[in-house]
C-alpha cells in the first residue's frame, strides 16, 4: 500500500510560492535569454556610437596662511575710526572658510570664462555647431559665454577631494587627451594669476581711498596714520608678488592619458545584460499573475451568474395553490 508523503518542514507556503516563480521563469527561459541578448547588443551598439573621452588629473594643495605671525590683540578698541581702519588693514584677518571660497571661485563664471577664452574652447565644447573647414558657426549663431561656461562646468571640468588629505584634484575630460593634460595643469596656474589680480585690485581700491583721505585731512596725526597704512599696503603687495604658488601649488602634474575614460563598454554590456534579465523576469511574472487573475476572475464571474440564475428560478406548482378553482 502506497503511503502518502508527509509535508516536509521546508515546504511552507513561501516555499511553494518560490517553486511557482521558478517554474514560470524556467518555462520562459529561452525567451528571457533571447530578449537579454537583443538588449545587450543594442547597448553595445549604442556605446560604439559614443566618442571616446580622456580624463587627466592634477593634484594641487592649498597654501593658505591660517595662522599668521605677529601680534593680534583681542577685542581691539581704537580711540578713532582711523585707528580701527589701520588695525583692520594691517592685521587682515583670514576667514575660516577661505578654502571653500577658493573652490567656489574656481567654478565661477569670471574665472572659467577666462579659461575658455584663452584656449578657445568654444569650438571644442560646441564642436557639432562649428564648421572647421570654413571656420564659421553653423546657422551663423555663436554660443554665448554663459552657455560655454555651463557646458564646460558640467561636462569637462571637475574638482574632487584627493583621498583622505586636504588636497584636491583638478580633472578635465575631453575628446583630446593632450588638451585634457594641458588644461588640468594650466587651470591652477591661471587661478593663481586670477586670484592675484583680484587681491591687487582690492589693494588698489584701498590705496586710492587712502590717498584721497590723505589729501582731505589736515591733522598731522591723521596724516601719519594714513602714511603707515600706505606702507602696509605696499608691504602686502610685495608679499603677493613674491608668492609663486599662492594659493594653489601643483603637487602631482597631470600626465597625458593613454586610455579612454569613457564610454566604459564592458560596464555598459554587463549592466545591459543584468538589467534586461531582471526586467524580463519581472515582465514574465507580472504577465503570469495578470493572466491567472483574469482567468480566476472570469471563473468567479461565471459561477456567480450561474448561482444567481438558479436562485431566481421558482417551481410552478407552488403558485397553483393560491388560485381559486371555479
Q: Is the pLDDT of residue 257 over 50?
A: yes
% of the chain beyond a pLDDT of 90: 42
Q: What is the largest CA-CA distance in the chain?
A: 145
Residue 160's SS3 state is strand
Q: Is the pLDDT of residue 313 over 70?
A: no
Using the Cα atoms of residue 253, residue 259, residue 265 and residue 266 in order, give the sign of their dihedral. Answer: negative
Q: What is the pLDDT averaged over residues 108-131? A: 93
Those residues whose C-beta lies under 8 Å from the C-beta of residue 303, and which sit 6 or more positions away, are none
Most confident of 103-112, 128-137, 313-322: 103-112
Pick the range with the lowest mean pLDDT from 142-146, 225-229, 277-281.
Answer: 225-229
Instruction: Show the cell assigned to 177.
Output: 587627451
Burial of 168 (0-12, 13-18, 19+ CB in 10 A): buried
Q: What is the pLDDT averaged over residues 144-153? A: 94
Q: Please report the pLDDT score of residue 46 as a whole number.
A: 92
Pick the range with the lowest mean pLDDT from 57-71, 125-139, 144-158.
Answer: 57-71
Q: Please report the pLDDT score of residue 84 as a whole number.
A: 57
- Could you count the other beta carbons within 10 Å of the beta carbon of residue 54? 21
Q: Please report the pLDDT score of residue 245 as a whole number.
A: 86
Q: Please report the pLDDT score of residue 92 as a whole number.
A: 54
Buried b (16+ CB within 10 A) or exposed e, 249-286: bbeeebeebeeeeebeeeebeeebbeebbeebbeebee
Question: Cβ distance 264 to 23 under 8 Å?
Answer: no
Q: What digits encode the pLDDT tens for the residues 53-83? A: 999 999 999 988 654 444 444 444 444 555 5
Question: Cβ distance 292 to 23 under 8 Å?
Answer: no
Q: What is the pLDDT averaged over residues 171-180? A: 95
Compute the distance between CA of residue 206 and CA of residue 224 in angstroms, rounded to an integer. Answer: 16
Question: Cβ distance 276 to 90 under 8 Å?
Answer: no
In the chain, where the domains are located = 54-66+76-252
Compute the distance between CA of residue 161 and CA of residue 163 in angstroms, rounded to an integer. Answer: 6
Q: What digits encode the pLDDT tens for the residues 1-36? A: 444 455 555 557 778 878 888 888 898 999 999 999
Q: Please report the pLDDT score of residue 308 as a whole number.
A: 75
Pick the more confident residue, 225 or 286: 286
How confident is the prediction for the chain on average, in pLDDT?
A: 82
Q: Please report the pLDDT score of residue 180 as a whole number.
A: 95
% of the chain beyond a pLDDT of 70: 82
Most confident of 10-14, 207-211, 281-285: 281-285
Q: What is the CATH number of domain 54-66+76-252?
A: 3.30.1890
Q: Is the pLDDT of residue 271 over 90?
A: yes
Phi, psi of 143 (to 5 degrees): -60, 150
Question: Cβ distance 285 to 293 under 8 Å?
Answer: no
Amino acid at each position: 500500500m502506497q503511503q502518502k508523503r508527509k509535508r516536509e518542514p521546508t515546504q511552507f507556503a513561501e516555499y511553494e510560492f518560490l517553486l511557482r516563480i521558478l517554474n514560470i521563469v524556467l518555462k520562459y527561459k529561452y525567451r528571457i535569454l533571447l530578449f537579454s541578448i537583443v538588449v545587450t547588443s543594442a547597448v553595445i551598439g549604442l556605446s560604439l556610437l559614443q566618442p571616446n573621452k580622456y580624463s587627466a588629473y592634477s593634484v594641487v594643495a592649498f597654501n593658505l596662511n591660517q595662522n599668521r605671525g605677529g601680534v593680534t590683540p583681542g577685542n581691539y578698541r581704537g580711540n578713532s575710526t582711523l585707528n580701527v581702519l589701520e588695525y583692520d588693514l594691517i592685521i587682515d584677518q583670514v576667514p575660516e572658510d577661505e578654502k571653500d571660497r577658493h573652490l567656489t571661485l574656481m567654478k565661477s563664471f569670471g574665472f572659467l570664462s577666462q579659461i575658455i577664452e584663452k584656449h578657445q574652447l568654444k569650438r571644442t565644447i560646441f564642436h557639432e555647431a562649428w564648421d572647421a573647414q570654413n571656420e564659421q558657426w553653423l546657422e551663423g549663431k555663436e554660443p554665448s559665454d554663459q552657455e560655454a561656461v555651463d557646458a564646460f562646468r558640467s561636462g569637462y571640468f571637475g574638482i574632487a577631494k584627493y583621498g583622505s588629505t586636504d588636497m584636491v584634484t583638478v580633472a578635465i575630460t575631453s575628446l583630446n587627451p593632450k588638451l585634457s593634460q594641458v588644461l588640468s595643469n594650466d587651470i591652477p596656474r591661471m587661478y593663481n594669476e586670477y586670484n592675484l589680480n583680484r587681491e591687487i585690485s582690492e589693494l588698489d581700491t584701498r590705496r586710492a581711498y587712502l590717498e584721497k583721505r590723505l589729501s582731505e585731512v589736515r591733522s598731522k596725526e591723521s596724516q601719519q596714520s594714513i602714511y603707515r597704512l600706505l606702507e602696509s599696503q605696499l608691504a602686502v603687495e610685495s608679499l603677493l608678488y613674491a608668492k609663486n604658488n599662492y594659493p594653489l601649488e601643483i603637487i602631482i602634474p597631470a600626465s597625458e592619458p593613454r586610455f579612454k575614460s569613457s564610454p566604459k563598454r564592458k560596464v555598459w554590456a554587463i549592466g545591459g545584460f543584468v538589467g534586461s534579465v531582471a526586467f524580463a523576469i519581472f515582465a514574465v511574472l507580472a504577465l503570469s499573475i495578470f493572466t491567472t487573475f483574469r482567468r480566476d476572475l472570469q471563473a468567479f464571474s461565471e459561477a456567480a451568474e450561474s448561482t444567481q440564475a438558479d436562485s431566481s428560478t421558482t417551481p410552478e406548482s407552488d403558485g397553483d395553490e393560491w388560485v381559486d378553482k371555479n
